[in-house]
Amino acid sequence: MPILSLKAVSKSFGALKVTDDVSFDLNNGEALGIIGPNGAGKSTLFNLITGNVAADSGQIFLDGRDVTRDSAMKRCESGIGRSFQIPQPFGRLSVYENLLVAARFGGTVSAADAPGFCMDILERTRLAPQANREAGGLPLLQRKRLELARAMATKPRILLLDEIAGGLTEAECRELVATIREIHAGGTAIIWIEHVLHALNSVVERLVVLNFGRVLMAGPPEEVMASREVREIYLGIEA
């Protein structure tokens, strides 16, 4: 059974149909990439999966259970964790305190377990040296790492990453990809929206292409990237 299933999910904002009859499965432990031009509806799709936006029609299943009407909080507790395209840490709190908040209020970690649990996430996301630093003053790579760490602190079985590699240098991107690979190797399923295709394709096993809210194509990265239609909609974007 897939860990996550979308069945004919649709969402409109006014007259604009942003998600149009989208269906796909995510298998246990799989890493799936979502690509598509700006405005294709990728972030909205994440918001539908996490419950930040309600679907107009269609269903979302987690472990075979219909979660379409569950709140964002409940879905987070059930194992869906996410990072945001624009990192939004509590800027005046330290890196460690940011993780504590995520672990205690977004996840299911007890007060007694939280300190050790958060230190472990800091190690895994290479943020331990920054633990006591104010989050608002971090440089971009560390801010991205904190976004990843905050999502991990909610103990996700499915980790949603929204353009986490954007804006990084090549070297920084390689470092972050190595961390994401380790998380994936630990068994966490991943759905990753990304425009930096070489980073994405070095991690994911399958790609879903969105265009005007619809699934244009899905398949292994090499097959999808060889498609003329996909290359055309990506003209002007790194390929």
Ligand X SMILES: Nc1ncnc2c1ncn2[C@@H]1O[C@H](COP(=O)(O)OP(=O)(O)OP(=O)(O)O)[C@@H](O)[C@H]1O
Q: Which residues bind ligand X (CB under 6 A)?
A: 13, 16, 18, 36, 38-44
Residue 104 vs residues 25, 78, 109, 172, 188: alpha-carbon distances, Å: 30, 14, 6, 30, 20
**Minimum CB–partner distance for residue 229 and ligand X (Å):** 17
Reported in sequence order, the residue ranges of 36-125 that DSSP labels E, i.e. its strands, are 57-62, 65-66, 80-82
**Edge-to-edge strands, sheet with 80-82:** 80-82, 158-162, 189-193, 31-35, 206-211, 214-219
Q: Residue 161 in 3-state DSSP?
A: strand
**Minimum CB–partner distance for residue 197 and ligand X (Å):** 13
**Minimum CB–partner distance for residue 188 and ligand X (Å):** 22
* Comparison of 8 and 16: residue with beta carbon closer to ligand X: 16
Gap between the Cα atoms of 159 and 49, Å rounded: 11
* Comparison of 16 and 73: residue with beta carbon closer to ligand X: 16
Q: Residue 138 in 3-state DSSP?
A: coil
Structural contact between residues 106 and 114, judged by C-beta atoms closer than 8 angstroms: no
* Comparison of 13 and 105: residue with beta carbon closer to ligand X: 13
For the record, the structure tokens of 78 come out as: 């059930």
Gap between the Cα atoms of 45 and 48, Å rounded: 5
User: For residue 209, which of 184, 229, 239, 237 has the smallest C-alpha distance?
Assistant: 229
* Comparison of 176 and 193: residue with beta carbon closer to ligand X: 193
193 DSSP assignment? E
**Minimum CB–partner distance for residue 44 and ligand X (Å):** 3
* Comparison of 44 and 142: residue with beta carbon closer to ligand X: 44
**Minimum CB–partner distance for residue 163 and ligand X (Å):** 7
**Minimum CB–partner distance for residue 57 and ligand X (Å):** 17
* Comparison of 35 and 127: residue with beta carbon closer to ligand X: 35
